Amino acid sequence: MVHVNIFDTTLRDGEQSPGVNLNQLEKLEIARQLERFGVDIMEAGFPASSQGDFEAVKAIAQTIKNSSVTGLARATKSDIDIAWDALKDAAEPRLHVFLATSPIHMKYKLMKTPEEVINTAVDMVRYAKQRFPHIEWSAEDASRSDLDFLVQIITKVIDAGATVINLPDTVGYTTPEEYGRMFRYIRENVPNIHKAALSCHCHDDLGMAVANSLAAIENGVTQVEGTINGIGERAGNASLEEIAVALNIRNDKYPYTTNLVLKEIKRTSDLISRLTGMIVPPNKAVVGRNAFAHESGIHQDGVLKNALTYEIITPELVGVNSNDLVLGKHSGRHAFKDKIEQLGYTLSPEKLGEAFTSFKQLTDRKKEVTDEDLFTILTDIQTAAIDVKKYELVAFQVQYGSANLPTATVALTTPEGIRVETARTGSGSVEALMNTLEALIEEEIHLTDFRLSSVGQGRDALAEVHVKMTVNGTSFSGRGSAQDVLEASAKSFLNAVNRVFYNQKAIVQEPAAL
């Protein structure tokens, strides 16, 4: 069976989703989970885009040992130099350099002739080869490029040292038949193609990213790129979890193997959904809340008699546990520590103590604590920024009744350590709380999105709130969880605002998605 390498770009292309702002701690937590998931290559970011992205890529490169860490670079020496500085300490450093090859991109974006594009690509791959042992070269907008021109430029960049050739469907335009035919043409006409692996990278603008990726694999691609939950610019990227499960369930049609640990799919999906604020639709394939739910009486009857009647994917395959009640108010520190290690978390003694305290506080109000509850607590602990000046919630009170005007009173400490307090009204209790928080904060704030969901089931479930807002003109997302909806709302609001204090100013322009 042919082996297919999995290239995850959640931390680069996925983070380019509008409104997604991950800090370094959040990126590190995602990187560790991607390593547990078994991805072969993870694209940690675009080091030249900002100081914050550079530091995050560097930290991930120094931390991850079982996956190859790569960074994106434009076809310029400065981008390549910055990428090397970020990746040189990686266990297996590699570079992902791209240049557009379609007529429309060359003419209107690059303003270069085809010959100039070839020369630039060759020169930059050769320059990068002086440092990087592995170089992936991407022909941006390959699916709308001339095939004979692709043959010409691919032949020359392989001679210059490229070890992977990526032909992305950058704008999600192509069809499975067209995309597969392009790879087949390249394999048949590039004389030195045996010296490099072929990779696919599909966007989902027409809803065909996964189908296109599978078509590419059928036509000789041995590396597939995508993101968890299919997040990314515009309509997103190919969903890696869907591709992985398709290869597993339909191995009669797709005789290919990967290194992915499928039981880590649900947890990986949940982590990325939580940290990015991009909620997974209930009907999403493989990881949606309804993926294993059966409403129809006929379906229910069939599943009870034999699950295979209507379930082609077992919940256990992707890590969905139907009975995950684990701990209660009488559970001690040792049992708690054992459980979080089972969940894959490694906490410092200080963070372990903080997590245990949060757990005990939850058990005072919630009889049974599930894996989902622990996951929420531990994620908050692991990604909490320390030694950063920020607004902190001291206390709040909301007065609300059907005959009264909703009023919120809030006390905060400012980044300078000063306590401030005020009260405001609103059309509802949440709006009153948001108006009060906004009045206490010096930054210019405009709330653009507010979403409420529950963690688990039951009336005592944790509430989780995700918000999006602009702070001083820059878009940020925030999240907060608590048993009280209003407390979760306040936490999410402050979480978004506080990101301005560790958000680094970009030093070059962010590139288009491949």
Write out the binding residues: 13, 201, 203, 237
3-state SS assignment for residue 360: helix
**How far is it, in rounded angstroms, from Cα 451 to Cα 188?**
50
Q: CA geometry: angle at 272 spanning 271 and 277, to 5°?
A: 110
Tell me the longest C-alpha to C-alpha distance in the chain.
79
Token readout for 496 is 């978004």
Q: How many CA atoms lie within 13 A of 412 on its CB side?
A: 25
Beta-bridge partner residues of 143: none
Residue-wise burial string across 270-288, b where 16 or more C-beta atoms lie within 10 A, e elsewhere: bbbbbbbbbebeeebebbe
Token readout for 413 is 């400490």
Token readout for 139 is 């022909």
Positive or negative torsion for Cα 177, 181, 182, 187: positive
Q: Evaluate whether 200 touches 212 at the Cβ level (below 8 Å).
A: yes
Q: Evaluate whether 167 touches 139 at the Cβ level (below 8 Å).
A: yes
Q: Which residues are annotated as a binding site for Mn(2+)?
A: 13, 201, 203, 237
**How far is it, in rounded angstroms, from Cα 382 to Cα 389?**
18
Residue-wise burial string across 442-465, b where 16 or more C-beta atoms lie within 10 A, e elsewhere: eeebebeebeebebbeeeebbbbb
Phi/psi at 254 (5° precision): -120, 90
Q: Evaluate whether 394 touches 411 at the Cβ level (below 8 Å).
A: yes
3-state SS assignment for residue 496: helix
Specify the length of the chain in residues. Answer: 514
Give the Å distances, CA to CA, from 187 to 123, 167, 220.
23, 12, 8
- Who contacts 137 (Cβ-Cβ below 8 Å, separation ≥6)? 97, 98, 99, 121, 125, 157, 162, 164, 165, 166
